[in-house]
Amino acid sequence: MSVENFRGAVSVAGVGLRQYKRGKAPLAEQGVLVRAIVDACEDAGFNPAEVDGFVSYGDDKNEPVRLMPDLGTRELRFNAQMWGGGGGGIAGAFGIAAAAIATGQASAVVVFRALVQDNSGRMSAAVMRHHLNDHLVGAGLVAPAQICALRAQRLYEYHKVPKSVAEELVLASYYHGSRNPEATAFGQALDLDAYREGRWIAEPFRLFDCSRENDGAGALLLVSAERARDLRKPPVRLLGVANGAEKGWGDLGENDRDYASAGFKPIARRLWRQTGVTPADVDVVQLYENFSAQGVASLIDHGFCSYENVAEVVRYENLIAPSGKLPVNTAGGNFAHGFVHGIGMAVEAVRVLRGESANPVADAKICLLAGGPGAPTVSSALFARDDL
């Protein structure tokens, strides 16, 4: 597929997000998901029965065929899921959906993720089960927080990245979240002392360096760019997607070569090459931050900064909308908007480009969605306004 083909092929026509406190969803997981999918269809002015494809990631348990009765699905033509248990696959899910539409295998594809603790248990435990082995367990390493802590320690102690960058990123997320009525942190900007005095989880992470799970579901409706122009909302085009891992990265028992990275360097290189976009062209970033240091490493991997100048770029003032040059997580991100395995970040990528964000970025044309960092496979996507 040529670059031009991908650029014009597919757009997001509608988004839906239902989010609750962990353990507080009013419906079982499948019910919440049906709500979110119908929300996305209503957002687009699209009949849910005409959705003919579904894609998810992160070992979602809701097999699309079971959604058919509720949605009135006329024909299921395409159902697929990204490999990998973590959020690393989120952007790649859009690549699968785009491939299905561009090749005529389906015409209207929903990318979704649903998580309700009563049904699927703790997401962190499920992610870890994917990779757990006796080497890890014997070392007492049984949670994503600990694995990411090992890599963060290397980032700080060996590569000399100042720990203050984590604080700047977390504060920016909470600033945005505090101004977003939909966010878990609405009305509560993070107190710096509370951050610094948060209890230790796994050094170097304290409580507020870690994202905390929510119940909920998110859905994004994708159709051809042409068809999207006839629907209710301004379309947001999928410019490109890159996914995977380079030799020396993966499920390697902590033998990854570029250990303190988030695994994105080769993926970002491919995304920039595929789209002709550069980091300087990106107006706003939805940065999946399972943990603070991994969010920072992801920005470094994508080329927004380096080990040397990271403290100049990852500054609170620079990361907040509308004044910052690199607005990050305009809904509050996983930290402060809510964490339904990152699907809220994809929804926000669309909203901010439509001008619907609680923290608008004036004239934003291009938004990067950087998926779950540090996972054995990671993925990123670029979204853009249709009039780019």
Partner 1 sequence: MKGIGADGEYWAALAQGKLKMQRCAGCGTWNWPAVWRCGECGGWEQVWEEVAPQGRVYSWTRSWYDFGGPRDLSVPYVSVVVELDGVGDKRLLGTLEGGEPAIGLPVTAVVRASEFEGEALLSLRWSPSPTQTAKEA
Q: Which of 104, 193, 199, 387 binds partner 1 (CB under 8 A)?
A: 199
Site mask for partner 1 (CB under 8 A), range 244-273, x = bound: -------xxxxx---x--------------
Q: How far is the CB of 263 from partner 1 (least distance, A)?
A: 15
Q: How far is the CB of 255 from partner 1 (least distance, A)?
A: 5
The enclosing H or E element of 382 equals strand 378-385
Sign of CA dihedral 174, 176, 177, 179: positive
Q: Which of 24, 66, 135, 196 binds partner 1 (CB under 8 A)?
A: 135
- Cα–Cα distance, 152 to 377 (Å, whole number): 18
Residue closer to partner 1, measured from CB, 105 or 153: 153
Scanning the chain, the segments in alpha helix (DSSP H) are 3-9, 29-44, 68-71, 90-102, 117-120, 123-129, 134-138, 144-153, 164-178, 192-196, 225-228, 265-275, 292-301, 310-313, 316-319, 333-336, 343-354
How many other β-carbons are positioned within 10 Å of the β-carbon of residue 2? 7
14 contributes a contact to partner 1 by CB under 8 A: no
191 contributes a contact to partner 1 by CB under 8 A: no
Binders of partner 1 among residues 144 to 163 (CB under 8 A) are 145-146, 149-151, 153-154, 157-158
SS3 of 364, please?
coil
Q: Which of 141, 166, 296, 346 binds partner 1 (CB under 8 A)?
A: 141
Bin 372: left if φ > 0, else alpha if -120 < ψ < 50, else beta: beta
Residue closer to partner 1, measured from CB, 105 or 146: 146
Q: Which stretch binds partner 1 (CB under 8 A): 39-47, 69-77, 196-204, 315-323?
A: 196-204
What are the structure tokens assigned to 360, written together?
Answer: 């608008």
Site mask for partner 1 (CB under 8 A), range 50-89, x = bound: ----------------------------------------
No. of helices (H) and no. of strands (E), the chain: 17, 11
Binding-site ranges for partner 1 (CB under 8 A): 132-143, 145-146, 149-151, 153-154, 157-158, 199-204, 251-255, 259
